[in-house]
Amino acid sequence: MLHEWLGELNEEDKQRRAQEAFANVIATEDGQIVFHIIFDNLYFVREAKCLEHQALNNYAKVLLGYFGEDAIYRVMEALIRKE
């Protein structure tokens, strides 16, 4: 059902809707915990010492795009709160 609904949206609306969903999730404490785990596992806040870890780090940067323009600040705020 969700896949069909997303298929009906144009690319700009898909991106906007994804950003809204990410913002809604990270606004919750549970969402902040989940994103802390995800970004930690993607070597976003740890040194990426090998090619595999660098690839994961690069994907973390792709995910940041879903958080909107001030993404880095919101994600880092969530990560810092959970340290």
Q: Where are the domains of the chain?
A: 29-83
pLDDT reported for residue 65: 80
Given a cut of 60, is residue 7 above it in pLDDT? yes
> pTM of the prediction?
0.70
Other CB atoms within 10 Å distance of the CB of residue 5: 9
Rounded to the nearest integer, the mean pLDDT of the chain is 82
**CA-to-CA separations, 24 to 3, 51, 54, in angstroms, rounded:** 19, 33, 28
Q: 43 — phi, psi (to 5°)? A: 60, 35
Express as a percent the part of the chain with pLDDT over 90.
20
